[in-house]
Structure formats: structure tokens, C-alpha cells
């Protein structure tokens, strides 16, 4: 498993979240990721908090495992020389500057490929590198709004998701594009530029909401904690708590309906389109039945009947859940300041490795400039 991407060197010029997340994904798969930071504070997210623990931002810790940190002022002659040497030994370079910034620093695509024709370059922007608004700065919540995601989230008012999903998706799409370009390089011997943006990442996950508009001409609306096109599929109150139920087929509906005292052939609810049209009546009927018994009792009964259902857990409950732990979704690392800590782990497992990701030993998120000496010594080899 150590050989999955361990032959690759990745130069991470990114900061905040989208680019660091992409670089971390490659690091989780075994690549050597060298994060280049400004000497005066480093990645912006090192200062994002609270919370801070022993001066370390938990935000930064979330996106920078399995990396090394070096510092360089890319506006200086020394910094430019350092980056040039690094590029010559790299396989991948990631950047999420605003369009034109890297060019002004003297590292245009042409210059980077002159230094290393095999280099795969990932460029993540806010709204795209070209087009009438290509120069706009990109921030997650702005992209969620501009990309339509907030218009279908929430109940009364447009609502952002609880995590910076545009940033995270852009990182995921970016890493996916990098791997495709590396595969192509095996044939051509040449690198290429991979581009994505926060806007593209949001539009890319519109899924059935997108085709509802582009094909049917219907504008998607907010439906809160219920599925826009399937019913019953959502969150329901029981006697003591809430549960989530997903009835995703007509056969499941025929099983579920009697459990809540409904006739599956009721003319209001006999098909999914009818159930969606009469969602409020259906929800009221389900919650009337659910109100008789506690959530755990309903969850047991639904599981026995083969109806998908579950709890709404807080983060403490998620990370203490045996199923989460069994999937390798918590990793232990030794941090130079914090000592032994646990981090959320990589979401991939491979069949011949009991660990999540592709490494037996995960690196902690680095201190600023922690690897200045070792990386420069490596360049001198």
C-alpha cells in the first residue's frame, strides 16, 4: 500500500481549504506533499479560530495531515529560486491564487512547464479562470449562494450547508482531475493543467435539481428536511426524539404504510408522485403514528421491516459510534506541539490494508516551517 502514490511529489501552494483538501487527499494516498507557506504566518487558516489548542488552529488541523511545511517568500529572489528547484523535482503543483497572481510572481503555466514538462498543475479558482467574472475572489458561502445551492437548502430562508461544501467539493474534483492527468502522463510523458472552481463544484452536484430546471423547466424549491422528489423520505418526530426514514421504492412503501396505520393503496398516497403532492398530509399521518412510541423502538421496528432509517447524531455521538471507529475514520497522530491527538481520517479503504487511506503511518499537520531544513537538504541531493 505504501506504493500507491508514494512515488509522487506534490507541491502545495494553496491555502484555506479547497486546495489544502485536494493536497491532503493525495497525501492520504501516499504522495509526498510539500506545503509551501509564507514565512509571516503561513496558511491563512492557521489563524482561523477559535478554537485553538496550545495555539494550534483546529481548522488548520482538519485539512493538512500527511504534509510537510516549508516557508518561502515567493516575491523574493531566494523564494523564486527555491520554488523553481522544487518544481523541477515535482510531479504535481497545486495553486488556488486568484487568476493572474501566479503569473505575476513569475510562474506562469508556460514557465512551470519550461521548468518541468511532466508537471501536472491543478488550479482552483472561485468562479473559473476565464469568463466575464473569472477574476472574482472565491469564498465558500458566496459560491454556495451564487451557485444555487442555498436556494434549495433550508426551509424559510436560503441556508448554507453546515460544512464549507463548495471548498471541499472543489478539492475533491481537483484531486480527481489530477489523477486523470497523471494517468495520461504515463502515455504522453507530459503534464497538463487541470482547472476547477468553487462555482463548478457546486453546479457539478446539482444532480436531479439541475435537470429539474434544464429539462423540465421547473425551478427547484426548498423542502427543508424532506426529499424534493421522493416521499416519505425525511425527518419525522416521534414520542421523544426525531428519526429519519427513507422509503425509496414502491415495494418499501407497501411495507412501510401498514407500520404507520396507512393503506398503501390510499388514493392520496398510492404512487410516489401522489405522495409528493400530498406530502404535508402524509407527514402529519406518519408523525401521528410515530408519536405513540419512542424513537429507539421505531428504529428497531423499521430495521426489522427492512425500511432504511436512522438517528440524527451530533459530532460526539458520531466519533464515539463503534461503526465510525470500525471504518478507520479516526486516526492517531503525534503532533509536535499537541502530542498524541486524534483526527478525522481518510474516507477510503483498500482491500489489502486495514487502515483508512494508503498509509500505515499518518503524518500530523505540520508546524509552520517544520521541514525547512529537511526539504532544502533533499533539494541539494
In this prediction, residues 323-328 reach a mean pLDDT of: 92
**Cell 472552481 belongs to residue:** 197
In CATH, 9-205+325-379 is 3.40.50.10540? yes
In this prediction, residues 160-182 reach a mean pLDDT of: 98
**What does the pLDDT read at residue 196?**
98
Report whether 70 contacts 376 (CB < 8 A). Answer: yes
Res. 118: pLDDT tops 70: yes
**What does the pLDDT read at residue 350?**
87
User: Which residues are CB-contacts of 242 (< 8 A; sequence separation ≥ 6)?
Assistant: 235, 236, 295, 312
Res. 25: pLDDT tops 60: yes
Q: How many CB atoms lie within 10 A of CB 237?
A: 15
Question: What is the spatial distance between Cα 282 and Cα 276, in angstroms, rounded to a whole number?
Answer: 9
Nearest CA-CA partner of 123 in 69, 198, 185: 198
Catalytic sites, residue numbers: 167
**What does the pLDDT read at residue 349?**
87
* Percent of the chain residues past pLDDT 90, beyond the cut: 94
Report whether 90 contacts 23 (CB < 8 A). Answer: no
pLDDT tens track for 66-78:
999 999 999 999 9
- Domain boundaries defined on the chain: 9-205+325-379, 233-237+242-310
pLDDT tens track for 52-106:
999 999 999 999 999 999 999 999 999 999 999 999 999 999 999 999 999 999 9
Question: What is the spatial distance between Cα 18 and Cα 173, in angstroms, rounded to a whole number?
Answer: 10
DSSP element (H, E) containing 339: strand 339-344
Report whether 17 contacts 164 (CB < 8 A). Answer: yes
Q: Helix count (H) and strand count (E) of the chain?
A: 16, 13
Angle, CA 137 vertex, CA 134 and CA 142 arms, to 5°: 105
Q: Which residues pair with 36 in a beta bridge?
A: 70
Angle, CA 365 vertex, CA 362 and CA 371 arms, to 5°: 100
Res. 357: pLDDT tops 80: no
pTM: predicted TM-score of the whole model, two decimal places = 0.94
pLDDT tens track for 199-232:
999 999 999 999 999 999 999 999 999 999 999 9
Per-residue pLDDT band for 351 (boundaries 50, 70, 90) equals confident
Nearest CA-CA partner of 278 in 287, 289, 267: 267
**Cell 486523470 belongs to residue:** 180
Nearest CA-CA partner of 7 in 331, 358, 371: 358
* Alpha-helix runs per DSSP H in the chain: 18-28, 58-62, 77-88, 101-104, 109-115, 140-146, 165-188, 198-203, 207-214, 250-259, 272-277, 279-290, 295-305, 315-320, 322-326, 372-379
Is-cis flag, bond preceding 57, omega within 30? Answer: no
Amino acid at each position: 500500500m505504501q506504493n500507491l502514490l508514494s512515488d509522487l511529489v506534490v507541491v502545495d501552494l494553496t491555502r484555506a481549504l479547497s486546495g489544502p483538501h485536494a493536497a491532503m487527499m493525495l497525501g492520504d494516498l501516499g504522495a509526498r506533499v510539500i506545503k509551501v507557506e509564507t514565512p509571516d504566518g503561513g496558511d491563512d487558516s492557521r489563524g482561523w479560530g477559535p478554537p485553538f489548542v496550545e495555539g494550534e488552529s483546529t481548522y488548520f488541523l482538519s485539512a493538512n495531515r500527511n504534509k510537510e511545511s516549508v516557508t518561502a517568500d515567493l516575491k523574493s529572489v531566494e523564494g523564486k529560486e527555491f520554488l523553481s528547484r522544487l518544481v523541477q523535482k515535482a510531479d504535481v503543483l497545486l495553486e488556488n491564487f486568484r487568476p493572474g497572481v501566479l503569473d505575476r510572481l513569475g510562474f506562469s503555466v508556460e514557465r512551470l512547464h519550461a521548468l518541468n514538462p511532466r508537471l501536472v498543475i491543478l488550479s482552483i479558482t472561485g468562479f473559473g479562470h476565464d469568463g466575464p467574472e473569472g477574476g472574482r475572489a472565491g469564498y465558500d458561502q458566496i459560491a454556495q449562494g451564487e451557485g444555487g445551492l442555498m436556494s434549495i437548502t433550508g426551509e424559510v430562508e436560503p441556508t448554507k450547508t453546515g460544512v464549507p461544501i463548495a471548498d471541499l467539493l472543489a478539492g475533491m474534483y481537483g484531486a480527481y482531475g489530477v489523477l486523470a492527468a497523471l494517468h495520461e502522463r504515463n502515455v504522453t510523458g507530459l503534464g497538463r493543467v487541470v482547472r476547477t472552481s468553487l462555482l463548478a463544484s457546486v453546479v457539478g452536484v446539482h444532480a436531479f435539481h439541475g435537470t429539474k430546471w434544464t429539462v423540465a423547466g421547473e425551478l427547484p424549491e426548498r423542502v427543508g428536511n424532506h426529499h424534493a422528489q421522493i416521499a416519505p423520505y425525511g425527518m419525522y418526530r416521534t414520542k421523544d426524539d426525531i428519526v429519519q426514514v427513507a422509503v425509496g421504492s414502491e415495494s418499501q412503501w407497501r411495507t412501510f404504510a401498514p407500520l404507520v396505520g396507512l393503506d398503501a393503496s390510499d388514493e392520496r398516497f398510492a404512487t410516489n408522485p401522489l405522495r409528493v403532492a400530498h406530502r404535508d398530509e402524509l407527514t402529519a399521518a406518519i408523525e401521528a403514528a410515530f408519536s405513540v412510541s419512542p424513537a429507539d423502538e421505531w428504529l428497531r421496528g423499521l430495521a426489522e421491516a427492512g425500511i432504511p432509517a436512522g438517528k440524527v447524531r451530533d459530532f460526539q455521538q458520531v466519533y464515539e459510534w463503534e461503526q465510525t471507529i470500525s471504518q478507520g475514520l479516526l486516526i492517531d497522530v503525534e503532533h509536535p506541539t499537541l502530542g498524541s491527538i486524534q483526527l478525522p481520517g481518510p474516507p477510503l479503504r483498500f482491500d489489502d490494508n486495514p487502515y483508512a487511506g494508503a498509509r500505515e503511518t499518518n503524518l500530523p499537520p505540520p508546524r509552520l516551517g517544520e521541514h525547512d531544513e529537511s526539504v532544502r537538504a533533499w533539494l541539494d541531493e
